Structure 1
Amino acid sequence: MFKQAVIPLLVSAGLLASAPFAQAATNLVFCSEGSPAGFDPGQYTTGTDFDASAETIFNRLSQFERGGTAVVPGLATSWDISDDGLTYTFHLRDGVKFHTTPYFKPTRDFNADDVVFTFTRMLDAEHPFRKAYPTEFPYFNGMSLNKNIAKVEKTGPLTVVMTLNSVDAAFIQNIAMSFAAILSAEYANQLLTSGKPSEINQKPVGTGPFVFKSYQKDSNIRYTANKQYWDPSRVKLDQLIFAINTDASVRVQKLKAGECQVTLHPRPADVEALKKDPKLQLIEKPGFNLGYIAYNVRHKPFDQLEVRQALDMAVNKQGILNAVYQGAGQLAVNAMPPTQWSYDTSIKDAAYNPQKARELLKAAGVKEGTEITLWAMPVQRPYNPNAKLMAEMLQSDWGKIGLKVKIVSYEWGEYIKRTKNGEHDISLIGWTGDNGDPDNWLGTLYSCDAIGGNNYSMWCDPQYDKLIKQAKIVTDREQRTVLYQQAQQLLKQQVPITPVAHSTVNQPLSAKVEGFKVSPFGRNVFSGVSIDQ
């Protein structure tokens, strides 16, 4: 057995307990782009949901360092891994307090029972709480954790042992992700006893740096500082407010007027003006993301490879890059970004060829004037600054090869739910990497297990699945790279998606904001953030 060393970035619980609470200076308003579907992180997969819950209210056993990809201790101070790679023993942080709210007053500190509840609820469809409040866990299942975690056991008040069925080279990174937020077993029991288990999704209780106060859909979310937080140096705000507005230009105007101090996803056309404003700062980072087109292979005629090939080669990517990304994007040809290790640089796009695309459609029996639906996101995302414009350009591209394209959109939460259910023909979607491992792309987005989760193409290829599953149980990076590159080649040949662009991330904020770090995973984290008076 080897021991995972505690990273010295986080101070031990004993030292933290003796430190004075960092004096909060003021309030911060974050102009966010959409309403979360709820506050139970295990149920969701989008950054909008995670920003509002996992990154404010909750903690995980392991976590990512702010602004980086390194894993650091969270609610576990350290962990041991058995020599065979199948058993993980987590040593939990002592003295951590759950939030006290008008609807819940904890009688004990965080302990092993909370970890067991959190993971067992996701693992066991017969779990009493899950039966009382039936829900699915798309991320957990899409990453096959429901099949690979054999058991979760409490072996002491502050010790939990997880046993896997097979080696998972990215397990610690996986459980550092937002969906693995640790819930209160005591609060869950209170809700179960009172017959209100669904309130776990509307009235959250966590151990994180901010305490949930109120939520008005499409308007605002309010949080207060957690003055009992186990790392008091990270709580520097009295109040945090999410002001929700789907219009990027409105968000920018609010930022300029001082009505909010941080926003996100500005329109590319606004970037230069933001750079020149002395009251603002603009952080620019290469995007660890991908905007793509997903073809639902369960809908005819997209079940035919020739049809997907035709649609793919009829997309004028350069035109989209110029009009939609306006210099803030890089042409994508592969199913993940080039900064992800194991990326196959030999993969190339099929040449743009509308005439050949028309011939392929005819050979596949697709008649001139066939109507298809193209779903366009209602919000800006890091990987797609203007889905509506992209959809209109695709409507034109595919119209040139004889298709009649109807553009469809829904409110963001509804859009995600319906696409996960496979109601679309084709959808515009994308991804920002969550943990730096290739499986977070190739497994999470395109595997058979991810259907109903993040696999919006509903594509399931046994040969592909075999490759990515083999890669997960190998710990040698070179061996994993060979397998992942074979999988990338197969995915490119089968065309379940058309990669479009990797977008540059531009993060605008007030010049008074200090300590904000741009997450490579597209999260907005306000722990450790302050405002200079």
Structure 2
Amino acid sequence: MRLAAIPFLLAPLLLPGLAQAASLAVCTEASPEGFDVVQYNSLTTTNASADVLMNRLVDFDTASGKLVPSLAQSWTVSPDGLTYDFKLRTGVKFHTTDYFTPSRELNADDVLFSFKRMLDPQNPWHKIAQSGFPHAQSMQLPALIKNIEAPDPQTVRFTLNRADSTFLATLSMGFASIYSAEYTAQLMKAGTPEKLNSQPIGTGPFVFRRFQKDAVVRYQAFDSYFAGKPKVETLIYAITPDANVRLQKIRQNECQIALSPKPLDIEAASKDSALKVEKTEAFMTAFVAINSQHPPFDKPQVRQAVNLAFDKANYLKAVFEGTAETANGPYPPNTWSYAKDLPGYAHDPAKARDLLNKAGLKDGFKTTIWTRPSGSLLNPNPSLSAQLLQADLKQVGIDAEIKVIEWGELIRRAKAGEHDLLFMGWAGDNGDPDNFLTPQFSCAAVQSGTNFARYCDQKLDKLITDGKSTSAQADRSKLYHQAQAQIQQQALWIPLAHPTAAALVRKDVSGYQVSPFGRQDFFQVTGK
């Protein structure tokens, strides 16, 4: 992400209608990588595409902690857990834009296309996704799903190769959004399939209008949305990388909601009579991924030494300023299989040096630290974070160069495994603990790129797979406790923090709630 000068960011963002009651402007921290959400795994892209433009078969209701109907009005599961029948909602319309006019409503063909595109290598759309399908691949859907068929135009049947207790929850994730088979056929016929990434079509509450990179995304309310018309006519994502500028903008009413505030901004907003702070415990973990495929990080002792070298208490105080809980592993404490008794890596530079000596690195080594330029919920101050890690590693003889890389490029290159040490974060999408394990630590996720530790171990892989194959929560917890113990012993991450998810909101805005998963829902939000 390019850091623009403050005068540019404070300039009007083409918002002449902002004073109207029907408009809502949201200050976001980064540009989406694109709008074909299945190609990407960043929350920024999910927020700009799946969350506002599209729908899934099911949704996860954070209030009840249960899966609820969306495009599927009901579903049944066979006793053996291998067959799922979804009855589609009738009367669901796709967006009409200047580049597409649908001739029919949603039916089973759209669901079949959306999944077969990701699962079938022979599908003409399969090879067009330049970034592949990271979530589908890391969640191992090609191996899990045996067949998808349509018994009738309003019914979709998934047949699995094995029972999987996470399958329904997986269908609520952003990458499982349903596309228009008619629109994609139009693009393919015209020889312009790449436009799916820049001219999206969905069934969601808002219609895509325009995107200007590093500046703005414009949406318009979908009058024919199956759940009713949104309460605001125009939705604007004002892309504002600098958190200080986001605070200024919401104070000046140039934005009505500001995402990813810094801890000090939350404190300031709580004292501002025009603002309020919405927050909740986040189902997220901030971490530094250690690339186990890059020597000398292929040695567990070196990864352990890096964990011991970093003063996390100092980091949490300086970067999160009391707004986050110390992480001791991949799971947030509000996860039902959280292993609370695992020993962590206390700050111990002497022990770190001893481990480096035993690994044959008495004189240390050189490495790189990758981070993003702009702050986010999971890394409020990327520059300071990287500098603190750099200084602590220097104390044990590790010379680390900081590389600041624009967000889209950072994600792309990290998925290719180019990094050494990478400041990153992960948000669970659906409340299931497997959503941290399969995408981040499975062998399949090394291939898809979401496993930023680049660690593939058959024992760990079996624990993850066995955890999904049983439905008993107590049995799954035992397996996940073993997985957490192995992840910590191998020191695949430097677990950093479990933050509080927060957003700054003007007091005349109603209906907005912060999601513990980092998802965005503006359907019921009323602007000023």
Specify the TM-score bucket, using the shorter chain as the normaliser: over 0.9
Distance, in Å, in 2 between the alignment partners of 1:475 and 1:177 is 20
Matched, 1:216 2:194: no
Distance, in Å, in 1 between the alignment partners of 2:189 and 2:387 is 51
Matched, 1:44 2:63: no
Query: Is the Cα contact below 8 Å between 2:39 and 2:129 reproduced in 1?
Result: no
332, 345, 350: which one aligns with 2:345 = 350
Q: What does residue 89 of structure 1 align with?
A: 85
Matched, 1:193 2:189: yes
138, 163, 172: which one aligns with 1:167 = 163
Query: Is the Cα contact below 8 Å between 2:328 and 2:496 reproduced in 1?
Result: yes
Alignment of 1:147-186 (within 5 A): 147-186=143-182
Paired letter, 2:275: L
Distance, in Å, in 1 between the alignment partners of 2:166 and 2:21 is 39
Residue by residue, what CA displacement relative to the aligned partner does 1:167-212 show, whole Å, maximum 9, x if unpaired? 1101111001111110000000000000000111110000000000
Paired letter, 1:500: L
How far did 1:381 drift?
A: 2.5
Aligned residues: 508
How far did 1:68 drift?
A: 5.9
SS of residue paired to 2:392: helix
Query: Is the Cα contact below 8 Å between 1:313 and 1:357 reproduced in 2?
Result: yes
Matched, 1:421 2:416: yes
Q: What does residue 106 of structure 1 align with?
A: 102
Q: What does residue 204 of structure 1 align with?
A: 200
Residue by residue, what CA displacement relative to the aligned partner does 1:140-190 show, whole Å, maximum 9, x if unpaired? 111111210111101101001001111110111100111111000000000
* Structure 2 CA distance for partners of 1:89 and 1:429, relative to 1, 3 Å: same
Query: Is the Cα contact below 8 Å between 2:270 and 2:276 reproduced in 1?
Result: yes
Query: Is the Cα contact below 8 Å between 1:67 and 1:519 reproduced in 2?
Result: no
* Structure 2 CA distance for partners of 1:219 and 1:134, relative to 1, 3 Å: closer
Query: Is the Cα contact below 8 Å between 1:443 and 1:468 reproduced in 2?
Result: yes
Q: What does residue 6 of structure 1 align with?
A: none
Alignment of 1:314-333 (within 5 A): 314-333=309-328
Query: Is the Cα contact below 8 Å between 2:184 and 2:193 reproduced in 1?
Result: yes
SS of residue paired to 1:443: helix
32, 41, 57: which one aligns with 2:53 = 57
498, 503, 525: which one aligns with 1:502 = 498
Q: What does residue 73 of structure 1 align with?
A: 69
329, 334, 351: which one aligns with 2:329 = 334
Distance, in Å, in 1 between the alignment partners of 2:516 and 2:372 is 22
Paired letter, 2:427: T
SS of residue paired to 1:375: strand
251, 257, 264: which one aligns with 2:259 = 264
SS of residue paired to 2:337: coil
Residue by residue, what CA displacement relative to the aligned partner does 1:436-490 show, whole Å, maximum 9, x if unpaired? 1111011221111111332101011111111110010100111111111111111
Distance, in Å, in 2 between the alignment partners of 1:83 and 1:271 is 49
Matched, 1:290 2:285: yes
Q: What does residue 229 of structure 1 align with?
A: 225
Query: Is the Cα contact below 8 Å between 1:471 and 1:483 reproduced in 2?
Result: yes
197-206 or 286-295, which deviates more? 286-295
291-300 or 443-452, which deviates more? 443-452
Matched, 1:404 2:399: yes
Query: Is the Cα contact below 8 Å between 2:316 and 2:322 reproduced in 1?
Result: yes
Query: Is the Cα contact below 8 Å between 1:459 and 1:496 reproduced in 2?
Result: yes
Distance, in Å, in 1 between the alignment partners of 2:144 and 2:517 is 24
Query: Is the Cα contact below 8 Å between 1:289 and 1:382 reproduced in 2?
Result: no
Paired letter, 1:301: P
Distance, in Å, in 2 between the alignment partners of 1:201 and 1:67 is 32
Q: What does residue 432 of structure 2 align with?
A: 437
Residue by residue, what CA displacement relative to the aligned partner does 1:37-85 show, whole Å, maximum 9, x if unpaired? 1001111111100110001110000012366642111100001100100
* Structure 2 CA distance for partners of 1:334 and 1:132, relative to 1, 3 Å: closer
Structure 2: where are the runs of 5+ without partners? 1-19
Matched, 1:462 2:458: yes
Alignment RMSD: 1.3
Query: Is the Cα contact below 8 Å between 2:364 and 2:396 reproduced in 1?
Result: no
Query: Is the Cα contact below 8 Å between 2:39 and 2:130 reproduced in 1?
Result: no
Distance, in Å, in 1 between the alignment partners of 2:22 and 2:354 is 63
Q: What does residue 250 of structure 2 align with?
A: 255
64-73 or 84-93, which deviates more? 64-73
Residue by residue, what CA displacement relative to the aligned partner does 1:314-343 show, whole Å, maximum 9, x if unpaired? 110100011001010111112211100111
Matched, 1:311 2:293: no
Where do 4+ consecutive residues of structure 1 move more than 6 Å? none
Distance, in Å, in 2 between the alignment partners of 1:404 and 1:253 is 38
TM-score normalised to structure 2 length: 0.94
SS of residue paired to 1:406: strand
Distance, in Å, in 1 between the alignment partners of 2:226 and 2:142 is 30
Paired letter, 1:456: F
Query: Is the Cα contact below 8 Å between 1:132 and 1:192 reproduced in 2?
Result: no
SS of residue paired to 2:51: coil
Distance, in Å, in 2 between the alignment partners of 1:265 and 1:68 is 25
Query: Is the Cα contact below 8 Å between 2:280 and 2:515 reproduced in 1?
Result: no
How far did 1:368 drift?
A: 2.4
Query: Is the Cα contact below 8 Å between 2:368 and 2:401 reproduced in 1?
Result: yes
Query: Is the Cα contact below 8 Å between 2:32 and 2:45 reproduced in 1?
Result: yes
Residue by residue, what CA displacement relative to the aligned partner does 1:92-111 show, whole Å, maximum 9, x if unpaired? 01111100000000011110
Query: Is the Cα contact below 8 Å between 1:32 and 1:264 reproduced in 2?
Result: yes
Distance, in Å, in 2 between the alignment partners of 1:426 and 1:131 is 31
TM-score normalised to structure 1 length: 0.93
